[in-house]
Amino acid sequence: MRRPSKNPARKFSADSQRLAALAQSMVRASSRIESRSWEARLDATLSKQLANRQQQAIDSALDHLFHTDLDAYDALLDSIEALSGSCMLEHEGKQYEALLVAVPLLAWTRFSIASGAIAQPVMHALTAQLHGHILAAGTQTAIAPALFSIDQLPRSYCDTYQLTRKMAEAALAGKPLQVPASLPETAPFLADTRYLLLAVAAEAGQPLLRWQEEEAGPNRHTASQAALTQWQLQAGPSLQALLPGCGIELMLPGAYYVACREADKAIRPISLRAAVHYLTHTLSLDPVQLSTVVAAVGEETSDVRVDEFRISYSVGDSEEVVYGVVWPLYDEEVADEFMSTQSPARPVANAPLTPLQQIVAVLRETGITRIQQTDRVMAPEYCDDCGAPLFCNADEEFVHAEMPEDAERNTGHLH
């Protein structure tokens, strides 16, 4: 289950009602044949709405189902992502399937993280490495010659739908893609994700990615991890050169939405570590001199839900917050233990860590020992002037995170 975006309530129109009803019918089907029939009708309706840019109707249907029918919500979202991030095209009398692929890079620094156009020699090297280690043999691709930040990716499902088709057509025609004349400004962070975007196409029924090939064997995990290792070794130097002064980690390329979500999750602990590294160097202190407050934050509803944790950094016992990091929750992540004012209990062997346990574990790894947790879910608050999220101080009051006036100037901010 993916969490919906936090937007105001939207009008539940007839188009939205139809989407919701089709999704509910699909998940209640009593056979695979019936389910596929409803799915075909849902896909046909969605395709028209995506092509006609009816984003509001789609968002409204998702909002409605999220609060009334989570199974149908998941089914509708899966269909939206599948249709906007892939397509079927005819080319020279043959049917081709195309997929929008994101290639995530995690980056962290005390300075700035670059984005924007990539020089042709580097593009040639990256294209060769993608075909050599990630893409299936015989595929055709179109790669956008730029590193994108999250602010420069498509803003809606309808935008993604249009981009996927544009790039797929370029891949089949063998035409190079151009960087947009103007990209939105990139917000400066000390830890952030950059993306390569490409469309990969193959004749219908043929593999698109290396680990789908027969020769890769039946174990998807083993094959994809082998491909990732080679991608990191071979493409790492070229990508490192694009991000001077940064530490980087290359993640497994994959379908656009899945790869972006995995990158969003993976950058969270890196953001906490980058914050400690930056603060200790800028303020000339040791990690043990920092204190943190971990606040569970969520909308005030009848069934209180934690949407994110906000981690505040202070110096010693000061009530002033010098920096803050937001740790959003994704998919089916839950925060059942937020009511505890003590450190989370030691996890059961082999059990995955909860979000709060992950946060505390990372903070302790960095050398921070003073970790306070709020005993209730806080309603989200933001600065009226700049819109930045506010963070809890030791008194559990929301305040603006501000560095001391005499601290070394740096343009970086934190998630």
Letter for the amino acid at 282? Answer: T
pLDDT at position 180 is 77
- Binning pLDDT at 50, 70 and 90, where does residue 387 land? confident
What is the signed CA dihedral for 102, 106, 110, 112, rounded to 10 degrees?
A: -10
370-378/290-297 β-pairing: parallel
pLDDT at position 385 is 86
Q: What is the mean pLDDT of the chain?
A: 89
- Binning pLDDT at 50, 70 and 90, where does residue 81 land? very high
What is the signed CA dihedral for 155, 309, 297, 388, rounded to 10 degrees?
A: -60
pTM reported for the whole predicted model = 0.88
pLDDT at position 376 is 87
3-state secondary structure 348-404: CCCCCCCHHHHHHHHHHHCCCCEEEEEEEEECCCECCCCCCECEECCCCCEECCCCC
- What pLDDT, in 10s, does the model give residues 242-258? 999 999 999 999 999 99
86-91/146-147 β-pairing: unpaired
- Binning pLDDT at 50, 70 and 90, where does residue 181 land? confident
DSSP state of 184: P
How far is 82 from 322, CA to CA, in rounded Å? Answer: 42
Strands (E), 8-161: 86-91, 94-108, 116-117, 140-143, 146-147
Handedness of CA 133, 135, 137, 139 (dihedral sign): negative
pLDDT at position 18 is 96
Q: Residues 6 or more apart from 155 whose CB is under 8 A from it? A: none
pLDDT at position 10 is 57
301 or 103, higher pLDDT: 103
